[in-house]
Amino acid sequence: MISELLRELIAAHRLARDPRFEAVLADCGMPAHRCPIWGLATVTIDERFYEPQPLGSGRIAAIAPVFEDAALVDLTATPLDTLEVRTRRGDGQIMGAEAIDLAREFDRPLRVFANGWSWLRNDRAGIVVLDWSVVRHRLHDLPGLLCENTAVARSVSQAFERPLVIPPIYVAKPKEPRHVA
């Protein structure tokens, strides 16, 4: 059975190949057939999420998948007019997470992009951070981070500077020995 997220991604993928959007994509420096699976949709966004809208209403956005351990866990929308990345469900942490392992394996800096459009235009050769709370844990041991611009570099730096919240730590009392007889 096909998942709701995959069905939505396939519909967006088809729309990106529609000739009506060739000029829009060309203006963005994005040939329609460049990346394997991504698409276009009209959406509305709020502070965290996006919601698909019927064609002709909403804002045009790039729709890109978020995979974790080879499973599709979320989708992102990056509206062309604002470039603000939003997730569909809030389950995605990093777009392009597989690039983290490649950077480690080949001992090279990891590229960090600002949004879905720039990530797609650069052949998905890096990541887009969706949840800044995971940065220090997922990226701390890399040989370097090559940020797309100073705003991204500032966000990465701030993510590493956030204090680590440590839960209360308790020591269990030893159990009294019992005489069994």
Q: What is the pTM of this model?
A: 0.76
136, amino acid identity: R
Secondary structure (DSSP) of 112-148: EESSHHHHHHTTT-SEEES-GGGHHHHHTTSS-EEES
Category of 149 on φ-ψ map: left (φ > 0), alpha (ψ -120 to 50) or beta: beta
Category of 162 on φ-ψ map: left (φ > 0), alpha (ψ -120 to 50) or beta: beta
- Tens-binned pLDDT, residue by residue, of the chain (181 aa): 568 888 777 777 777 777 777 777 777 666 555 556 888 889 999 999 999 999 888 898 989 999 988 888 999 999 988 889 999 999 999 999 999 999 999 999 999 999 988 998 888 899 999 999 999 999 999 999 999 999 999 999 999 998 878 889 999 887 776 666 5
